[in-house]
């Protein structure tokens, strides 16, 4: 039987909301761990990432889960929202592409930030955009 190491801990620094896109989730975790220095976090994925917190059918569910699991149980003090270029989730669920998608994502990130800040004033909210810079490279920009 193959075994895998694990660390027994309870509290996390943040709830991280990002897209299921298989091209980007590994780098997203790497960005959060290495560039942001956030080693312990609860991951929340959804097609479109933070879109789950903007859509009427999923907003309350994700807010409730983040509140119960990350804030109350794991004592997270931060939410990190990460959207990305060429998101299939936005194309599929919102029906937008290209610049229109980028604009929609930016406005959603702003709305979600305000929502958290009004409902959970003690929690810090950061938003990032994963930018495709070439056929083989991406980077993350703070919004
Ligand atoms: Zn996506």
Spans of the chain below 70 pLDDT = none
Domain regions of the chain by residue span: 14-142
Q: Quote the ligand 1 centre to 51 CA distance (angstroms).
A: 9
Class of domain 14-142: alpha beta
The pLDDT of residue 142: 97
The pLDDT of residue 101: 97
Q: Quote the ligand 1 centre to 120 CA distance (angstroms).
A: 26
Q: Quote the ligand 1 centre to 5 CA distance (angstroms).
A: 30
Q: Quote the ligand 1 centre to 20 CA distance (angstroms).
A: 6
Helix, strand, coil shares of the chain as percentages rounded to 5?
40, 25, 35
pTM: 0.96
Q: Quote the ligand 1 centre to 50 CA distance (angstroms).
A: 10
């Amino acid at each position: 039987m193959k075994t895998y190491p694990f660390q027994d801990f309870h509290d996390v620094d943040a709830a991280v909301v990002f897209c299921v896109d298989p091209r980007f989730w590994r780098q997203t975790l790497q960005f959060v761990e290495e560039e942001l220095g956030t080693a312990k976090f609860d991951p929340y994925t959804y097609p479109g990432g933070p879109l789950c917190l903007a859509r009427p059918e999923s907003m309350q569910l994700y807010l409730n889960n983040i509140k119960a699991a990350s804030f109350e149980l794991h004592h997270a003090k931060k939410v990190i929202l990460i959207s990305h270029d060429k998101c299939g989730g936005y194309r599929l669920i919102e029906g937008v592409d290209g610049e229109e998608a980028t604009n929609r994502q930016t406005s959603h990130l702003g709305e979600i930030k305000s929502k958290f800040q009004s409902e959970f004033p003690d929690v810090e909210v950061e938003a990032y955009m994963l930018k495709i810079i070439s056929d083989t490279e991406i980077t993350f920009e703070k919004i």
